[in-house]
Amino acid sequence: NQAVYLRDYTPPAYTIDTVDLYVDLHEDHAMVTGTLNIQAAKAEAKADLWLHGESLELVSVTINGTRLTEQDFRIDENGMLITHRTEMAQPFVLETVSRIRPQDNTRLEGLYRSKNLFCTQCEAEGFRSITWFLDRPDVMATYRCTIEADREKYPVLLSNGNLIGEEPVGENRHRAIWEDPFRKPSYLFALVAGTLDRVEDSFTTMSGRNIDLHIYVDPGNSGKCRHALDSLKKAMRWDEERYGREYDLDLFNIVAVDDFNMGAMENKSLNIFNSSCVLADTATASDASFDRVESIVAHEYFHNWSGNRVTCRDWFQLSLKEGFTVYRDACFSADMHSPVVNRIEHVRFLRTAQFAEDAGPMAHAVRPESYMEISNFYTLTIYEKGAEVVRMIHLLLGDELFRRGSDLYFDRFDGQAVTTEDFVACMEEVSDRDLSQFKLWYSQAGTPCVKVKDHYNAKTGEYRLTIRQHIPDTPGQTGKQPMHFPFCIGLVSDDGKDFEARVASESTATASVSDGHGLMIELRETEETVVFKDIAHKPVVSLNRGFSAPVRVEYDYDTTELLHLMQYDSDGFNRWNAGQILALSLFDRVLGRASAGENSQGGSAIDEADMGFLQEYATALKQYLKPGSTSRQDPAFCALLLQMPEFSAWIERLPQVDIQLALGCYEQATLEVCSQLEQSARQCYDELGAHADIGQREKGAALRALRNTCLGVLSRLPGHDELAWQHFDAAKLMTDQLAGFRALLRYPRSQSSRPAQAIEAFEHQWQQDSLVMDNWFGLQAASRDYGTLEDIERLSEHRLFSRFNPNKLRSLFSTFAGQNWACFHATDGAGYRFIRKTIAELDQNNPQIASRMATPLTRWRKYAEPYSSLLKAELSALAKPVEGTEISKDLYEIVYKSLQ
């Protein structure tokens, strides 16, 4: 298990100009003939030719028609090395014929079967298990693909580009020929064969071209494609307007498949989607699913430029396409809905999950230095932090220059495989700015911590901020340089408005007025001083507005200041964030006392001082809920304002967590806050129930978000199980049904019979709909009372569960390990043992899924005893696979690095 290093990059010795694939599909095998036009990069170099190839049974290989014999090449488990021959000095034709077994491919990469459908997933390195190839993104070729299959079983045959021919073959078979005129790396190749329904629409581009849009789904699902089609059209228009990017072929296809390792894949003109990310209708999909479909459809579409037309030189550059594309899809969603809600949701996710990654054993830079298995690097750091890095560039440059920079990038590198350096160079060129220090964001891992201190001089009216940054050590990286980033702030006065503050000349940092987030200070040094003059009274400082930089901020707020920001901050993100800080410090206080032994975990009340603090916080939340309050005008935002930080968001910030103790404190504190809110929440719940739009799918989504948040508050308190049941039982939309279900599952069996009734009713109602049932598995798996280890074991034997379907595996096992803190982290270690065994077993079928599932185990250093040792023991057990089995490269890397 060898690592690959960025510093070892060398351009390929051979390039491949054209690929002609013939894929002959049968039930028990497929024959693949690959005809490649190859050219030596330097003819005089006389290099041997290396071709990647895995799980391929070679039938024959010829060069310019001459069949090679065993002396001419050597094959190992990674590929084939062809000894240099004279004809390789000139452009030559290499043809390979191989046999593969898609029906046995449980890894779901390369060519595989999902039920009766043949489909592919090539990114990152799946193409090499379809045919022999230089399977690296800097080898770009044009493709022609002929698919042959049984005519009745596989009437639909698809690949990239344009359909140029279709014909019968013999009695029962047929073939289709596809040609893609755009050069592309092999990871964007795709093929589909099956019986599928097609839903059609069309789009007229800005230059007036007509594009056919097709979505292919399992027969019976055509009614669930409208939303994806509408989303696609919105995304196409948005990319024209915001980035000047037009679609480049006459056809755009999306295919939905049930068994898929991730969300979706941007193959050129043939996007393949996990069906959970395409299908949506009001009865079966929640509002969250609708939003998810919209953003993933857009994301994959945006890749056509950020990823496909301009691609990555090597996999270390992955964030070049992923970070940029996430940034693009986030801006798109923000434009389609509420920007502040969208921003909060992204940041909440980043701060909980990406910060944890940055603080854990797998911490890596946005452009990593090395990897063992690239599949492990499709991470939150590459995606979410990578998007933040692009966002910062946008902030630093402003709208106009950022657009000039992206135009330059797309124009200059069209058809090429490039690096993050190339991207930044375009931004530097158009803005005449030096971003060399900024580029540390690509090479330095770890979340910077920004400590802010202030001083106000009442006599002189001077307000001074001292800002220190520190970047923690991460595995393999110590002693880091300070970073350059935009830090947006505001000085909020007593009347709630921002002071019109100008940065005085004795400041070390420069500042400018940002678009919508107050003052943008550019930080560069370990310590910076920012001075303001003529400030009439001590302001409340609002820091990192809009989350302008992906950093942790430390500043010693007092309660009154936070309450002031919660009410007045002109920056919506920071209004929300002030409440989060307050809630987190409440949890900290309760835990502080519990750890000192002042109150025990189960039951005993929060002490008086904490109670006073808690009431102040709850009073502020009640203000938000008041009918007629400004926050009620934006109900989706109001819902977020009311939601306390998740347990995982809290403990991410803590060292050496005693999980059960912390969980007890968390539940006690949230219970108290909720009981303060009981009346207001009930009132709001009832009012919204009578709102005319509450049942409208799109119009009512924000109202439902708030109403269901109120239900969430109530369901943390005893005695609302009947309300939750009614909510569940009367629901006409999936969002409401799930909210009712989630609320009910908070009531233990001993308190209510309704939850059990709901579990049964839900199953009965939705057993035919596999995607809906994923929620049923998931919500139970996350529940402390209905997702005990025994329940999980039972559910894993359920007739609708499948060990080969990634969605099911994630719903049940990953949810249990990632969200069910009470049961997974049982102090006897049984939860850990169970997940370890499950991972080891799944690793034999699907290494990508197994290695992802291992993430919760890798965090052992964060926890106190006994969790820490117990987790470590399971990791060590994974490292020693039982006899007759082997550990995959994917899982090995995770286990090995987290034990270091």
Name the amino acid, one letter, at 224: K
Question: Using CB under 6 A, which residues numbered 280 to 339 contact ligand B3K?
Answer: 299-300, 303, 322
262 contact choice in ligand B3K, Zn ion, none (CB below 5 to 8 Å, kind-dependent): ligand B3K
Strand, coil or helix: 665: helix
Among residues 120, 295, 308, 375, which is the contact residue for ligand B3K, using CB under 6 A?
375
Q: How far is CA 69 from CA 72, 74, 75, in A?
A: 6, 10, 12
The span of 196-204, 259-267, 363-371, 699-707 binding ligand B3K (CB under 6 A) equals 259-267
Q: Which of residues 374 and 491 has its CB atom nearest to ligand B3K in the complex? A: 374
- Closest distance between Zn ion and the C-beta of residue 322, in Å? 5
Among residues 378, 499, 741, 832, which is the contact residue for ligand B3K, using CB under 6 A?
378
Question: Residue 899 burial (CB < 10 Å; 0-12/13-18/19+)?
Answer: middle
The span of 110-118, 132-140, 264-272, 484-492 binding ligand B3K (CB under 6 A) equals 264-272
Question: Residue 477 burial (CB < 10 Å; 0-12/13-18/19+)?
Answer: middle
Q: Which of residues 73 and 273 has its CB atom nearest to ligand B3K in the complex? A: 273
Q: How far is CA 863 from CA 325, 657, 851, 895, in A?
A: 35, 5, 21, 17
Question: Residue 602 burial (CB < 10 Å; 0-12/13-18/19+)?
Answer: exposed
Interaction between residue 124 and ligand B3K (CB under 6 A): yes
DSSP, residue by residue, 746-772: TS-TTT-SHHHHHHHHHHHHHTT-HHH
Greatest Cα pair distance, the chain, in angstroms, is 96
Q: How far apart are CA 647 and CA 546, in angstroms?
A: 23
- Closest distance between Zn ion and the C-beta of residue 306, in Å? 9
The span of 84-92, 189-197, 263-271, 622-630 binding ligand B3K (CB under 6 A) equals 263-271
Q: Which of residues 122 and 199 has its CB atom nearest to Zn ion in the complex? A: 122
Of the candidates 123, 148, 294, 300, the residue annotated as catalytic is 300
Interaction between residue 708 and ligand B3K (CB under 6 A): no
Residues of the shown chain interacting with Zn ion in the complex, contacts defined by CB under 5 A: 322, 325
Q: Which of residues 271 and 709 has its CB atom nearest to ligand B3K in the complex? A: 271
- Closest distance between ligand B3K and the C-beta of residue 261, in Å? 6
Q: How far apart are CA 839 and CA 857, in angstroms?
A: 11
Among residues 134, 177, 265, 849, which is the contact residue for ligand B3K, using CB under 6 A?
265
Shortest-Cβ-distance residue relative to ligand B3K: 123
- Closest distance between ligand B3K and the C-beta of residue 319, in Å? 11
Interaction between residue 125 and ligand B3K (CB under 6 A): no
Q: How far apart are CA 650 and CA 673, in angstroms?
A: 16
Q: How far is CA 198 from CA 124, 219, 565, in A?
A: 28, 9, 52
Q: Which of 774, 839, 783 is nearest to 808 (CA)?
A: 774
- Closest distance between ligand B3K and the C-beta of residue 382, in Å? 9
Q: How far apart are CA 424 and CA 479, in angstroms?
A: 24
Q: Which of residues 320 and 491 has its CB atom nearest to ligand B3K in the complex? A: 320
796 contact choice in ligand B3K, Zn ion, none (CB below 5 to 8 Å, kind-dependent): none
Catalytic, 300? Answer yes
- Closest distance between ligand B3K and the C-beta of residue 126, in Å? 8
CB atoms within 10 A of CB 767: 13
Q: How far is CA 226 from CA 215, 280, 348, in A?
A: 9, 8, 30
Q: Which of 713, 595, 581 is nearest to 650 (CA)?
A: 581
124 contact choice in Zn ion, ligand B3K, none (CB below 5 to 8 Å, kind-dependent): ligand B3K
Phi, psi for residue 606 in degrees, rounded to 5: -70, 140
Q: Which of residues 352 and 375 has its CB atom nearest to ligand B3K in the complex? A: 375
854 contact choice in Zn ion, ligand B3K, none (CB below 5 to 8 Å, kind-dependent): none
392 contact choice in Zn ion, ligand B3K, none (CB below 5 to 8 Å, kind-dependent): none
- Closest distance between Zn ion and the C-beta of residue 254, in Å? 15
Interaction between residue 262 and ligand B3K (CB under 6 A): yes
Among residues 266, 428, 652, 721, which is the contact residue for ligand B3K, using CB under 6 A?
266
CB of 805 closer than 8 Å to CB of 846: no
Residue 896: its H or E element = helix 889-899
CB of 521 closer than 8 Å to CB of 503: yes
Among residues 20, 24, 123, 180, which is the contact residue for ligand B3K, using CB under 6 A?
123
Q: Which of residues 275 and 375 has its CB atom nearest to ligand B3K in the complex? A: 375
- Closest distance between ligand B3K and the C-beta of residue 254, in Å? 13
Catalytic residues: 300
Residues binding ligand B3K (CB under 6 A)? 123-124, 262, 264-266, 299-300, 303, 322, 375, 378
